[in-house]
Structure 1
Amino acid sequence: MDLSLVIPVFNEQDNVQPLLDEVCSVLDGRFDYEVIFVDDGSVDATAGRLAALRAACPRLRVLRHARNAGQSAALMTGLLAARAPWVATLDGDGQNDPSDISVLYEAAQADDTLWLVTGWRQQRRDSWIKRLSSRVANTVRAALLGDATPDTGCGLKLVRREACLQLPRFDHMHRFLPALVLRAGGGVCSVPVNHRPRQRGVSKYGLHNRLWAGIVDLLGVMWLRRRPLRPDAREDD
């Protein structure tokens, strides 16, 4: 298998079918792949609609959290279950373009030092307050962590599964993957990707539920960066 695609969803009942249809139309014939939806404790009809889709799509796997645990937890659940060496992640709201998965995969295959290829939404299709808060957060984070990544919040990423499973795990870690990968000795690159306006459902994120947690997490990652653990060990002949 070439690729596992992990899609965390929370109350996205109207997005799961069109997103799966689009993913399959883009990836069929190009990859040997699987699609893993992680239902992060949805309380709408998401679980039932995923069950119906699972019956009709052999590539689809569905994992479900008993209660909402957050995006990082959902991504880690999918990563642990994935069967392929490379794992692509995609937001469940339909704003990421599945066509860009191939672009990220080609970048990864061209450089064997890369552990992470992340999308860069150069033309954001979000509200002005969301764009502004992300711009401020990215600027501050890049200045303090030096991760050289213009858009860590993009849900479209491609990670080397085995390497990513070695990283420290904590809530909201998905926003700090570039810094964590660099700390562990892996390579990171950003690739421009398409971004689309949300057509169905409502956003689960806003300034109020990201600001304070983001500050605490940033301080924690700064602490981790000062304590790398990468000894150069070799076995004697």
Structure 2
Amino acid sequence: MIKDFTIIVPVFNEEACLPELFQELKNYIEISAVKSEVLFVDDGSTDNSPQLIETYCLDNPDFNFLLFDKNYGKGAALKAGFDLCKTSILGYMDADLQTHPEDFEKLLPYIEEYDLVTGWRKDRKDSGFKKISSKIGNAVRKVFTKDHIHDTGCPLKIIKTTSAKRIPMFKGLQRFLPAMILLQNGKIKEVPIPHYPRIAGFSKYSLKNRFMGPLLDCFAFLWMRKSYINYKIDEKG
């Protein structure tokens, strides 16, 4: 039975979004179906994000943080969160509030049966460029991964911690989390969730990191799939 939950929030230069994000996460923790806590991982922000995170977390016992010494990328932030997580399940969301923490409640009912449950932003509230580039990116990834997920990049996911810790993360691999769970012979589930316009700040994605980076990551995933070691221990003594 699932008893506890860690929400990992990677942050990079999101000071304008953080005050509202803090409040929404605090509100969610009070109504969550399972005991929940939050782990912020600041990925070398150059604005006031680290100071805001540290101040807020020191005043709120259910909130913790890691501050990177420089920018390593979202994959590194998630890997650090996975490594430190001590609860039975973990999830993550972006700091831009285009997904909301209360929508974890739509995913939680499935995590007993599945190893990863991911959101599906069926009605995207993004610019035309972002919608088209995400559609193309998802289509290309499905060709490589055959995971049959509509919205691999959705930044609202829940994963069993034991499964998450077995994912050999490398830069960009956050785009392939469902496929990596399938490599473990795990089960994945996609659930429609709302999507919201960005309330402040700006997107960190460009033409280069929406197309060229993900395409190269697909080839890295193919190597990973071929080389991945998967085992189960039957007995210990």
TM-score, scaled to structure 2: 0.93
**Structure 1: 5+ residue runs without aligned partners?**
none
Aligned to 1:14: 16
The aligned runs of 1:149-228 (5 Å cut-off) are 149-228=149-228
Residues matched between the structures, number: 234
Deviation per CA, 1:54-110, whole angstroms, max 9, x where unpaired? 23211110110000000010111112122211101000111112111111111112x
Question: 1:232 offset after TM fit, Å?
Answer: 6.9
C-alpha contact (below 8 Å) 1:130/1:207 kept by paired residues: no
Corresponding letter in the other structure for 1:94: L
| Partner residue of 1:54 out of 52, 57, 76 | 57
1:65 aligns with 2:88: no
Further displaced range: 87-96 or 76-85 = 76-85
Residues 1:235 and 1:76: Cα distance change in structure 2 (over 3 Å): closer
**Secondary structure in structure 2 of the residue aligned to 1:28:** helix
3-state DSSP class of the match of 1:159?
strand
The Cα shift of 1:235 comes to 4.9
CA distance in 1, matches of 2:231, 2:30: 42
Distance 1:122 1:58, change over 3 A: same
Percent sequence identity over matched residues?
A: 33
* Partner AA of 1:154 in structure 2: C
Q: Tell me, in whole angstroms, the C-alpha distance in 2 between the residues paired with 1:83 and 1:36.
A: 11
Structure 1 residue 165, shift from structure 2 partner = 1.1
Q: CA 1:210 to 1:2, structure 2 compared with 1: closer, same or farther past 3 Å? A: same
The one-letter code of the counterpart of 2:42 is: D
RMSD: 1.8
Cα distance in 1 for residues equivalent to 2:132 and 2:144: 19
Q: TM-score, normalised by structure 1?
A: 0.93
Partner secondary structure for residue 86 of structure 2: coil
Is 1:127 aligned to 2:127, yes or no? yes
Structure 2: which 5+ runs fail to align?
none
Q: Do 2:147 and 2:179's aligned partners in 1 also have CA atoms closer than 8 Å?
A: yes
2: CA distance between counterparts of 1:120 and 1:182?
A: 18
State the Cα deviation string for residues 10-43 of structure 1 (Å, max 9, x = none).
Answer: 0111212211211221231433111111111011
Query: Residue 133 of structure 2 contacts residue 210 of structure 2 at CA under 8 Å; is this kept in 1?
Result: no
Match of 1:35 among 11, 35, 38: 38
| Amino acid in structure 2 at the alignment position of 1:121 | R
